[in-house]
Amino acid sequence: MARIGVFVCWCGSNIAETVEVSKVAEVSKSIPGVVYSVDYKYMCSDPGQELVKNAIKEYKLTGVVVASCSPRMHEKTFRKAALEAGLNPYMLEMANIREQCSWVHNNMDEGTQKSIDLVRMMVEKVKRNKPLDDISIPVTKKAMVIGGGVTGIQAALDIASGGIPVVLVEKESSIGGKMSALDETFPTLDCSQCILTPKMVEVAQHPLVQIISYAEIEKLEGFVGNFKATIRKKARYVDVDACTGCGTCWQKCPVKVDSEFEQGLGKRKAIFIPFPQAIPSRPRIDAENCLKLTKDRCGICEKVCPTKAIHYDDKDEFMEVEVGAIVVATGYKIMPVSAFPEYGGGQYPDVVTSLQFERMVCASGPTLGDLKRPSDGKLPETVVFVKCVGSRDPEHYHSYCSKICCMYVAKQTMLYRHKVHHGNCYVFYIDVRSNGKNYEEFVRRAQEQEGAQYIRGRVSSIYKDGDDMVVEGADTLTNSQIKVKCDLVVLATAMEAPDGIKQLAQKLGIGYDQHGFLTEAHPKLRPVETATAGIFLAGCALSPRDIPDSVSEGSAAAAKVLGLLSKDTLDKEGVVAIVNELTCVGCQNCIRVCPYNAIELKDICNRQGELQRQVAHVNPGLCTGCGTCTPSCPSRSIELQGFRDTELYAEINALAEL
C-alpha cells in the first residue's frame, strides 16, 4: 500500500499570499494513499528538510510530494533529503505551486484550488512511480583530439600534462594547421612559426601523446566514457617508421605541382612534406600526381630511398582506439577568390586571398619573402585590401562576421609597408572590429603610423584594365564612388567550416548549424561542450576565432576532459527507456526515432541458438531519457522510466475527479 506524505511550502509569503497552504495540506489528507500532510514556512530550509526526513522515517512513507517551487529549483535538494532518509529519490515528486501557481494568479480561491489539483496529480503519479537506480558507467581513461592545428595541439598538451593519454588525429600529413602558414601575428607581430613550432615539437615528444597524421575518423561508436573510434589511416605510400625524413626522395622526385600549403603560389613534389618544419617530418606520396601510381613510370623515390621506406602498394588502414572523451578541433577553411564573380571569379592572378598574401610576404614562402605579384613578379606599388568578402553577406554567402579579418588586414598593411616603404595601401572596410587586448591600439597604429589608408565602403567590382587592377568601391563617408588603380588586391575572404565537417559531425552524433559550424551545448554556460556527453569542441570548428581564443578553448576543452576522466565511473540518472522483450515485435519504430541511436535490435534465440525473433534493446549509457521512443511504440513495449504511461496517465486521471 502506498503511504504518501504531502509537504506544502509557504515560501514565506510567496506562496502563502495567493494559496491557502493550510487548506491544501488539509485537503491533501483526503486523497487516497496520503497518510501525512503538513505545511511549513520554508520547506527548503534545514528544519523543513528535517521535517520531510523525519516524516519519511516516522510514517514509513513510500512516496513524497513536496508542493513548493519549481522542481528546477529544489528537486535535487529534496531528493537528496529523501535519500538520506532511506527513500528512493525517484519516489519524490514536486508540485510546482509557486512559479506555476501563486506567482501567476491573483485570486486566493483559484490559487488554492489549482494547488490542490497539482498536489493530487503528483500524489497519483508518485503512487505509481517505481524506485529507480542511478546508472554507473565505467570510464576509459584516454582521450582523442581531432584536428592538429594550434587548438588541437594545445588541447592535447593540456590533457597529456594531466596524465591522460591522448590520440591526436590530423587530416593532413603534418600537424600545425593554418597557423603554420601565417607570417607574423597580430597584435604583437611575433613570427607565427617561431611560436608554433616549439609547441609542435613539444606535443610530438610528449610520451602520452600519439600523433596519427594523414588520417580521418571513419566511425564512432559508444558513448561518454566508452567511445570506440575507428580511424582511417590514409595510404601514405611511405613507411613512417622506416623513413628518417632525409629528404632525398622529394629532392629527386621529377613531378612538380601546386603546393596546397603555399596556397597555389609555390610548387611541391609528388612526394613531399608540406613545409620544412612538418611534424612528423615524414613525406607522403600524392597518388593523383605520382608517375609511378598513375602511369607506372619513374619509381625514382623507391630507388633512392636509403631505408626502403617507399611502398607503392600501400592501402588505407583502419585502427580502432577506445577513448573516454573526444575534443573536436577541426578548424576552418577560407573561401577562395573564385567564389566571387564580381571580383573576377579567380580569373585575375593579382586578386589574392589574405592567406595567399601571408605566403607572399612570409620569409619561408615561395618567394622567400620578396613581395612579388603573381601575374608578372612586379613589386606591387599600390595594394588594395578588401574586407568582409563573403562575410556579412547573407544574400549571397555568409551572414556572420569572420571576426579576425579586421585585425589581420591591419597587420597585413603593416607587413606590406614594412616590405615596401613607399607603397600605398588602401583598406575598404565597413566597420573596424577590434575588440581584444591591444587590438584597437594596433589598428590605430596601422592607420596613424604605418600609412594604411582606410576607406569606408564596400567594393562593388574588381577588374583588369590594361596592366592595372581597378577596384570600384565607395566611400560612404563622403558619399562618393572611388576607383582605385592598383597592382594587387587582397581579399579578406570569409572563414568557412571545412569540407567534410557535416559528415564528421554526423559520425560523431553532434550538431552543426546552417553554416556547418559545430554547435555548442549552451552558447554561454557550456561553450566547449556538445549536446553529446563526452564530446567537446574548441577553436574555429565552432565559429571564426583568433589564435588567443582558439588556444584558450583548447585548454578549456582539455579541462573538461580531465574533469570527466578524473573519475573511474560516471553516474547518470535512472531516467532511461526500458524494453518489454515479451511484447516487443521489433518493428524498429523506436530505433528510427531515437535521436541518440541508443536503441538497437537484439536477437532472441532459443536454446539451440536459433534466431526466434528480434526485439529492441536500449543501451542505458546512451539513452538520455527523452522518451520519444514511447509514443512511437504501437504495443507500448518501450517505456521511459520516471515518465511511464501509467504515471502520466495517473496525472490526467487525477484531473477527472474535479
Partner 1 sequence: MLIKIGREVNLLAFSKKLEKETGTDVRKCYQCGKCTAGCPMNFEMDVSPSQVIRFCQLGMEEKVLNSRTIWYCIFCDTCSTRCPQGVDIKGVMDGLRRMAVARNIKPKSNVRFLEKAFQSIIYLFGRVYEPGMVGMYNLRSGNFLHDVGYFPLMLRKRKISLKPHFKRTREVRQVMKRAQKMKLRKAKELEEAK
Partner 2 sequence: MQELVKKAKELIESKEVDLLIGYQSDGEKGAKPLFVKNTQQAEKLIFNQYCLNNLVTYLKRPDVKALKKVAVVAKGCDIRSFVMLLSENQVSRDAIFIIGMTCDHVVSPDGTGENEKCTTCKVHNPHLADVVLGAPVPEKIAKDKPVHYAQLEKLNAMSQEERWAFWQEELSRCIRCYACRQACPLCYCERCIVDFNTPQWIDTRSNPRGNFAWNIVRALHLAGRCINCGECERVCPANIPLMLLNQSLQEEAQEKFAWEAGYDPESQPPLTTFRKEDDEDFIR
Partner 3 sequence: MSENWEPKIITFVCNWCTYAGADLAGTSRFKYASNIRIIKTPCSGRIDPMFIVSAFEKGADAVLISGCHPGDCHYNEGNYNARRKFTMMKRLLDTLGVDTRRVVFAWCSASEGIKFSRLVNEVTESIKKLGPYTDYHSLNQEER
Buried (b) or exposed (e) across 509-547, using 16+ Cβ within 10 A?
A: bbebeeebbbbbbeeeeebbbbbbbbbbbbbbbbbbbbb
For the CB of residue 600, give the shortest distance to partner 2 in the complex, in Å. Answer: 12
- As beta bridge partners, residue 146 has 169, 328
Binding mask 622-651 for partner 2 (x = CB under 8 A): ----------x-xxxx-------xx--xx-
Pick from 420, 474, 585, 648: which binds partner 1 (CB under 8 A)?
474
- Please give the size of the binding site for partner 1, defined by CB under 8 A: 24
In this structure, the number of other CB atoms found within 10 A of the CB of residue 159 comes to: 31
Q: Is residue 480 at the binding interface for partner 1, with CB under 8 A as the rule?
A: yes
In this structure, the number of other CB atoms found within 10 A of the CB of residue 165 comes to: 19
* Cα 145 from Cα 162, distance rounded (Å): 15
Q: Is residue 473 at the binding interface for partner 1, with CB under 8 A as the rule?
A: yes
Torsion of CA 229, 234, 237, 239, to 10 degrees: -20
For the CB of residue 462, give the shortest distance to partner 1 in the complex, in Å. Answer: 11
* Cα 96 from Cα 388, distance rounded (Å): 50
Got the DSSP string for 103-172?
TT---HHHHHHHHHHHHHHHHHHHHH------EEEE----EEEE--SHHHHHHHHHHHHTT--EEEE-SS
Q: Is residue 121 at the binding interface for partner 3, with CB under 8 A as the rule?
A: yes
Label the pairing between strands 577-579 and 638-640.
antiparallel
Binding range to partner 1, per CB under 8 A, among 44-52, 99-107, 454-462, 638-646: 454-462
Which partner in partner 3, partner 2, partner 1, none is near 474 (CB below 5 to 8 A by kind)?
Answer: partner 1
Q: How many CA atoms lie within 13 A of 38 on its CB side?
A: 17
C-alpha cell at 385: 585590401
- As beta bridge partners, residue 427 has 385, 454
For partner 3, give the closer residue by CB, 54 or 107: 107
For partner 1, give the closer residue by CB, 456 or 515: 456
Pick from 107, 136, 307, 476: which binds partner 3 (CB under 8 A)?
107
Closest-CA residue to 484 (of 493, 494, 474): 474
Which partner in partner 3, partner 1, partner 2, none is near 650 (CB below 5 to 8 A by kind)?
Answer: partner 2
Which partner in partner 1, partner 3, partner 2, none is near 531 (CB below 5 to 8 A by kind)?
Answer: partner 3
Binding range to partner 3, per CB under 8 A, among 323-331, 424-432, 498-506, 625-633: 625-633
Binding range to partner 1, per CB under 8 A, among 44-52, 64-72, 190-198, 466-474: 466-474
| Residue positions counted in the chain | 658
Closest-CA residue to 361 (of 281, 423, 454): 423
Contact 321, 142 (CB under 8 A): yes
Contact 572, 133 (CB under 8 A): no
In this structure, the number of other CB atoms found within 10 A of the CB of residue 453 comes to: 12
Pick from 593, 602, 604, 620: which binds partner 3 (CB under 8 A)?
593
Pick from 333, 458, 464, 636: which binds partner 1 (CB under 8 A)?
458
Residue that is written with C-alpha cell 593579382 in the block: 350
For the CB of residue 29, give the shortest distance to partner 1 in the complex, in Å. Answer: 59
Q: Is residue 648 at the binding interface for partner 1, with CB under 8 A as the rule?
A: no
Site residues for partner 3, 509-528, by CB under 8 A, read 511
Which partner in partner 3, partner 2, partner 1, none is near 114 (CB below 5 to 8 A by kind)?
Answer: partner 3
Binding mask 581-620 for partner 2 (x = CB under 8 A): --x-xxxxx--xx-------x------------x------
Binding mask 482-511 for partner 1 (x = CB under 8 A): x-----------------------------
Which partner in partner 3, partner 1, partner 2, none is near 106 (CB below 5 to 8 A by kind)?
Answer: partner 3
In this structure, the number of other CB atoms found within 10 A of the CB of residue 265 comes to: 20
Binding range to partner 1, per CB under 8 A, among 28-36, 282-290, 390-398, 618-626: 390-398
Binding mask 30-69 for partner 3 (x = CB under 8 A): ----------------------------------------
Binding range to partner 1, per CB under 8 A, among 40-48, 123-131, 353-361, 452-460: 452-460
Pick from 120, 142, 392, 644: which binds partner 1 (CB under 8 A)?
392
For the chain, first and last CA: distance in Å? 24
Closest-CA residue to 360 (of 379, 332, 343, 341): 379
Got the DSSP string for 293-348?
HHHS---HHHHH-TT--B-TT---EEEEEEESEEEE----EE--GGG-GGGTTT--
Pick from 430, 470, 531, 587: which binds partner 1 (CB under 8 A)?
430
Pick from 13, 307, 347, 476: which binds partner 1 (CB under 8 A)?
476
* Cα 618 from Cα 600, distance rounded (Å): 7
Q: Is residue 281 at the binding interface for partner 2, with CB under 8 A as the rule?
A: no
Any alpha helices (H) in 166-241, and if so which ranges?
192-205
Would you tell me which residues interact with partner 1 (CB under 8 A)?
A: 342, 388, 392-397, 430, 456-461, 472-476, 479-482
Site residues for partner 2 per CB under 8 A: 583, 585-589, 592-593, 601, 614, 632, 634-637, 645-646, 649-650, 653
Using CB under 8 A, list all residues that contact partner 3.
70, 72, 96, 98-101, 103-107, 110-111, 113-114, 117-118, 121, 511, 531, 575, 593, 595-596, 624-628, 630-632, 640, 643, 645, 648-649, 651-653, 655-656, 658
